[in-house]
Amino acid sequence: MIIGNWKMNTARADALALAEAVANIEHQDTTRVGICPPALWIDPIAHILKGSTILLGAQDCIGDQFGAQTGCINADMAHDAGCAMAILGHSERRARFGETSESLLPAVASVLETGMFPVFCVGETQEERESGRALDVVAEQIRPLLTAGLDLDGIVIAYEPVWAIGTGFSATTADIEEMHATVRDVLGRTDALVLYGGSVSPESADEVFSAEGVSGALVGGASLNADKFAAIVAAWERK
């Protein structure tokens, strides 16, 4: 599974052109490929991707029903617009808006109820890794999922070390393997889908995908270039 997170990038014309290019990326039937554009571009991109195998997703949503929540979109809106997934708990939102795993549980439940799948993000800061707390921090971010009566089969975990996002640095193969094993141990599921994110690029993809237990990637900056994104998909398929 390779998912592109466009974050707060692209003007409308650029977004539609990029979506057209991504829709034409060749990939195996067994590889799920998706993109999460800014919310304003979801609807027009849904029309572009119609009939293609590329999945569409939202970068965030809330668990509330319709009502007085200015500026928010809920899971029903995202699903109705054509989304198959929603990113939840990205470190940028945890840092800026104070999101926590506990506060995200209603959104996780709502996403699952629509038939979409949540891409639930976890990861440690540089300080937490250097102090030897990385595994404990990520485990604590995951544990709330276990006590909320959620269908864990439908949840995709994205491990993104905060210090690697947008920095050009990536975790070592050993670190990725250790963390992905820890995620599965906490979930109690050896078959859980766990993606890696954090400066995944055509140059780093082969090494990242060589790590045991990696189920794919959540790609940031490189997903804004269709050729680079296609190269990451190709790297996944030749691993």
3-state class (DSSP) for residue 158: strand
Active site residue 113: no
Query: Cα–Cα distance between 142 and 14 in angstroms, integer?
Result: 36
Residues 6+ apart with CB under 8 A from 46: 56, 81, 82, 83
In order, the DSSP letters of 22-40 are HHT----TT--EEEE--GG
- The catalytic position among 79, 90, 92, 128 is 90
Query: Cα–Cα distance between 58 and 84 in angstroms, integer?
Result: 8
Q: Amino acid identity, residue 192?
A: A
Label residue 8 left, alpha or beta by phi (over 0 means left) and psi (-120 to 50 means alpha): beta
- The catalytic position among 92, 124, 128, 160 is 160
Active site residue 47: no
φ/ψ of residue 191, rounded to 5: -100, 10
Annotated catalytic residues are 90, 160
